[in-house]
Structure 1
Amino acid sequence: PTAVGKTALSIRLAKKYNGEIINGDSMQVYAGLDIGTAKVTEEEAEGIPHHLLDIIPVEQDYTASDFKRDARQAIESILARGKLPIVVGGSGLYIEGLLFDMQFGGVAAENPDYRKQLEAELERTDAMCIWKQLQAKDPKAAEQIHPNNSRRVIRALEVIHFSGKRFSDQADRETAPHYDALLIGLDTDRGILYDRINRRVDLMTDKGLVEEAKALFDRKLPVKTQATRGIGYKEWFGFFNGEITYEEATEMLKQNSRRYAKRQLTWFRNRMSGIHWFDLVRNSHDMQKIEDLVEAFLA
């Protein structure tokens, strides 16, 4: 999940195994959103090429299908240069879609009216209202999808509507991975993880997160724009509107970040088998185990 050392590990592996990094975080694709997304800095990157960072203006939405298309192109180009593609990020739907060839269109893509109807309903009511429809039709899917993940909820309702089958039964994907991939997950003790997240938020505010969020706020983008809904940004909008205090916004950001980390872990543990889990925060010798694993995979 967030704040467990993915960036440092990816740079180390890329340097050691002649790799290039592909961003797999749904917010790091946006240009200008750097501090709140914990985007790798030039210094941290140590000269390792990074793909799919800063590729989209904040006004534009970027979907899992866009990511799948762009990440595939990046993978092909990295492989063509004889290098190792390393996808790094915690956006479960992006990673899963890339690996398991999930179809984000299908029948529904040819019948956009139902989606438009759901989106209009979302506009009129709220995310919870749409999620409750899913809960009524497919409780198992509703359990796996967070109510605020409206895109995914709408996607599930579309699949149910057009296929007549439960979304959770189909899992919306093929079972065989599209790539021969080695999956590495990082985790640590919950208390330690939450403490790291809290400290990271304080560090971000010291680095200028509030100013970065204010620049986004001042763009006056529509409420549904993806970039404005990102954790690290939306929490400050109430502060800028004078609805909450600075301290309340900070606390809300910490809480949302902790919840997000929990959801990320649930996603990867429940939906993606075959991940090798390590704890680099508490066990530095896990680094050697990871390198042994990579070497065996590449052999």
Structure 2
Amino acid sequence: MTKIPVIVLVGPTAVGKTELSVSLAQKWQGEIISGDSMQVYKGLDIGTAKITENEMHGIPHYLIDVVQPNEFFSASAFKDETKKKIRMIHSKGKLPFIVGGTGLYIQSVFYNYSFGTVSEDSEYRAKLEEMDAQTLHNKLLAEDPKSAKQIHFNNKRRVIRALEVIKLTGRPFSEYQVETKLSDEFEPLFLGLELERSVLYDRINRRVDQMMEAGLVKEAKALFDLSLGDMPATRGIGYKELFQYFDGLLTEEEAVWLIKRNSRHFAKRQMTWFRNRMKIHWINALEELTEEKANACISQFLKANPFDSDK
């Protein structure tokens, strides 16, 4: 069976993926699937730098605004929905693009990730739920250092699941998750945008200032007022820091400083993930020929993996 070609554009936050992806999709008759774990939530627009209708320039985008903030949308759901969207786009004679920075989600589409096939231990999970985030992460560090390095200690739900899987299977969660063999159905071209760290960090700082000017506080307050507890939508950078401001734990200035710092740290983690987990063609986002280089990679890729654009 001929594999479906897919263009995957990744990179850290604020590097310029959105604008480039639209230009590439216009040239190659593509349609875009968002590879961002937070853009699936309705109402989280400013803080996730969600693309606007005007910025889409008529290019269809998928997996944006698909669930309410009080709903769960997991990596497993992303994997299943993205595969459906790839097949649908391909059936229309269009070239599927995936664009985003959530490495785990994107990688799960093309590699044999296993999500949710291990049963649950509700009693053990309840005990874990009583522990604070740092204690849980220390426990994971002792039992599975590789997973502890990959999962942020604030992601309590993911840490708990890792510990639960370890208890039920006797295997490290890091070994259980992924195989290195690529999908038999899709043929991805991984393109990555990168920037010198100081330039990227400056972009991130300026973007946060722009978000604040655009009304991020109001958007975060609307989410805060829903009293969602520890739902995934509340964990996004830009929201969780402002929640502390609303709770009186930080000043607004301190919250903004934290958003910038956490965004920079997140960008660094993204780059570490992509460099260690995927074979990516890296392109500097500030080069004069950035788009030309991306187009050249796609052209060469499609010669070996053609798609029917005349359906």
Deviations 1:252-277 (A, max 9, x none): 111111111111111111222x1111
Farther off after superposition, 202-211 or 129-138: 129-138
- Pick from 206, 220, 228: which aligns with 2:227? 220
Q: Does 1:248 align with 2:254?
A: yes
**Whole-Å separation in 2 of the counterparts to 1:188 and 1:44:** 22
Corresponding residue number in structure 1 for 2:218: 211
Deviations 1:36-68, CA, capped at 9 Å, x for gaps: 000001111101000010000011011001111
What TM-score, normalized by structure 1, do the two folds share?
0.92
* Cross-structure match for 1:35: 46
Separation in structure 1 between the aligned mates of residue 25 and residue 263 of structure 2, nearest angstrom: 27
Residues 135 and 173 of structure 1: CA distance in aligned 2, closer, same or farther (over 3 Å)? same
Structure 2 residue 140 is the aligned partner of structure 1 residue 129: no
Aligned to 2:8: none
Task: Select which of 245, 249, 254 maps to 1:239.
Answer: 245
The answer on 1:164 being equivalent to 2:175 is no
Q: Which residue identity does 2:156 align to in structure 1?
A: S
Paired residue type of 1:277: W
Q: CA deviation at 1:241?
A: 2.1
| Residue 101 of structure 1, CA deviation | 2.7
Deviates more, 1:235-244 or 1:158-167: 158-167
Question: Closer, same or farther in 2 for the Cα pair 1:102/1:134, shift >3 Å?
Answer: same
1:15 aligns with 2:26: yes
Separation (CA, whole Å) in 1 of partners of 2:127 and 2:198: 39
2:121 is aligned with 1:113 = yes
Aligned to 1:258: 264
- The number of aligned residues is 290
**Structure 2 gaps, min length 5:** 1-11, 304-311
> Structure 1 unaligned runs (5+)?
none
Q: Distance in 2 between matches of 1:13 and 1:297?
A: 14
Distance between the aligned counterparts of 1:10 and 1:154, measured in 2? 36
User: Runs (4+) of structure 1 moved beyond 3 Å?
Assistant: none
Corresponding letter in the other structure for 2:179: E
CA distance in 2, matches of 1:31, 1:251: 25
Specify which of 184, 191, 195 is matched with residue 198 of structure 2.
191
Deviation at 1:171, TM superposition (A): 5.8
The amino acid of 2:284's aligned partner reads D
What does residue 181 of structure 2 align with? Answer: 176
More strand by share: 2
Summarize the alignment of residues 28-177 of structure 1 with structure 2, pairs less than 5 Å apart.
28-106=39-117, 108=118, 111-113=119-121, 117-118=124-125, 120-168=126-174, 170=175, 172-177=177-182
CA RMSD between the two structures: 1.5
Normalized per residue, which structure has more helix? 1
Aligned to 1:276: 281
Distance in 1 of aligned mates of 2:168 and 2:109: 23
Name the CA distance, whole Å, in 2 between partners of 1:154 and 1:200.
33
Q: Which moved further from structure 2: 17-26 or 141-150?
A: 141-150
> Are 2:79 and 2:108, in contact at CA under 8 Å, matched by a contact in 1?
yes
1:181 aligns to what SS in structure 2?
strand
With 18-27 and 147-156 compared, the bigger mean Cα shift is at 147-156
Give the number of the structure with larger relative contact order, counting CA–CA contacts within 8 Å between residues 6 or more apart: 2
Which secondary structure state, in structure 2, belongs to the residue aligned with residue 130 of structure 1?
helix
- Distance in 2 between residues matched to 1:217 and 1:166, nearest whole Å: 36
TM-score for both structures, normalised by structure 2? 0.89
Contact 2:120 2:164 in 1 (8 A): no
1: CA distance, partners of 2:171 / 2:249: 44
* Cα distance in 2 between the residues matched to 1:158 and 1:241: 32
Structure 1 residue 25 corresponds to structure 2 residue 10: no
SS of structure 1 residue aligned to 2:71: coil
